[in-house]
Amino acid sequence: MAKTVTVYSTPTCPFCIRAKQFLKDNNIQFKDIDVSENHEKAQEMIAKTGQMGVPVLDIDGDIVVGFDKERIKTALGI
């Protein structure tokens, strides 16, 4: 079954763009949350990770901070 993937990002962050492109290239569907617009979700991201850097990926509860390709691959099982 496909995993539920959420990306917390800002529109201006280059590594957010690369992380989302990576997911698209691998045909992974994801929910994109713009934390610069959505303050509630920004707080949720900070609570989940204890830090403020973007991007943050939530892959079925597996939290990856930053565009860490290897960890993202492992979490996705690809």
In angstroms, what is the minimal distance from the CB of 20 to another protein?
Answer: 10
Give helix then strand counts, H and E, for the chain: 3, 4
Give, in degrees to the nearest 5, the angle at Cα 59 between 45 and 18: 80
Contact call for residue 17 and another protein (CB under 8 A)? yes
Angle between helices 69-76 and 14-25 (to 10 degrees): 40
Query: For residues 4 and 52, which CB has a smaller minimum distance to another protein in the complex?
Result: 52
Q: Interaction with another protein in 53-72: which residues (CB under 8 A)?
A: 53-54, 65, 68-70
Q: Look-up: residue for tokens 């830090």? A: 51
- Among 4, 18, 24, 29, interactor with another protein by CB under 8 A: 18
Give the residues lining the site for another protein (CB under 8 A). Answer: 10-18, 21, 35-36, 39, 42, 46, 50-54, 65, 68-70
